[in-house]
Amino acid sequence: MYAFAEADDITFQLETLQRLLDPATRMVLDSLDNPAGQEWLEIGYGLGSIARELSRRIGSTGVVHATDLNERPVSAPIDGAPIRTFPLDLRTDELPPRPYLGIHGRLVLLHIAERREILPRLVDALEPGGVLVLEDWYCPEPPRVLSCADPADEKIFTEVVAGILGVLRGRGADLEWAAATKDAFTEVGLTDVRVTRTDADCAGPGLAHRLYACNARQLRGRLAESGLTDEVLDRFQQIALQPDLVTTGWRLIATVGTKPSLRRD
């Protein structure tokens, strides 16, 4: 399950993710048909930026339903669709029966070991003709360091980020799931499946590097258990925020599929 759910700095982490990934998500939403007047479900809504974006696009005649493990209030924009939040664990709880014409989730299923059991239930919750949009990072290995002031820092950066990925895997994350999502959509009967790939800007000290630093703070205890020393973890915090650090980025993969419409005889 989500390794950061009860971690310190969770608000800072979610704010950073929004600033880093919302532009790519808005581009994916731009590629869809106009959702005005529809009911959508946002899974794993976090601080609610995409729930608000959907509210704005859907307008006052539709509804945005937003669910997360931890319910937080989310206010709808003026003239937007109402946003109805509720707590839900996708692993164990049933989705409420609604006429969802769209379901969106970002960085959700990659963290949940039961992702392949959850996916058909998301499809079942869609109305015929409805669209499923899932975005996940493809991050099977640490980013490569392209430039840094001290070669010793490159080794520390790689070791710590590898440690973060190891903790996520230990909690059930599949860091290559994003590359398998297209085939998984087809297997559960979705059609018109398409994929969009976006690489994060990783010139320091940008949002991606600030996120790495935050993640290392949040998982410090587990990273120490894996053998990383306090000296290494302290130095990583400095390295991640250096202006001359440039790395490759993780790729955000958005997969979109449509539930077939009912046939009329």
199 vs 202, 213, 243, 250, CA distance in Å? 9, 19, 19, 6
Q: How far apart are CA 70 and CA 114, in angstroms?
A: 19
Cα–Cα distance for residue pair 141/158, rounded to 1 Å: 9
Q: Which domain holds residue 38?
A: 10-258
* 167 domain residue, yes or no: yes
Quick one: pLDDT at residue 224? 96
97 located within any domain: yes
Q: Which CATH number characterizes residue 69's domain?
A: 3.40.50.150
Asked whether residue 1 is assigned to any structural domain, the reply reads no
CA dihedral 207, 212, 215, 216 (to 10 degrees): -140
The CA radius of gyration of the chain, in Å to the nearest whole number, is 19
Which is nearest to 222 in space by CA: 4, 73, 21?
4
Task: Give the C-alpha separation, 265 to 253, whole Å.
Answer: 38
Taking only the tens place, the pLDDT of each residue in 62-75 is: 999 999 998 889 99
Which residues lie closer than 8 Å to 48 by C-beta, 6 or more apart? 66, 72, 74, 83, 85
Lowest mean pLDDT among 43-47, 132-136, 145-149, 168-172: 145-149
For residue 230, how many other CB atoms are within 10 A of its CB? 9
Pair 64, 145: CB distance under 8 Å: no
Decide if 235 is inside a domain. Answer: yes
Q: Is the pLDDT of residue 85 over 50?
A: yes
Asked, for residue 34, whether it belongs to a domain, the answer is yes
Residue 205's pLDDT is what?
76
Please indicate, yes or no, whether the overall pTM of this predicted structure exceeds 0.75. yes
| 135 Cβ neighbours under 8 A, 6+ residues apart | 21, 24, 25, 28, 104, 105, 106, 107, 252, 253, 254, 255
Pick from 148, 170, 150: nearest CA to 245: 148
Q: Residue 117 to residues 140, 147, 184: CA-CA distances in angstroms?
A: 22, 42, 11
Residue 265 lies in a domain: no
Asked whether residue 4 is domain-assigned, the answer is: no
Q: What is the pLDDT of residue 265?
A: 45
- Number of domains, the chain: 1
In a domain, 22, yes or no: yes
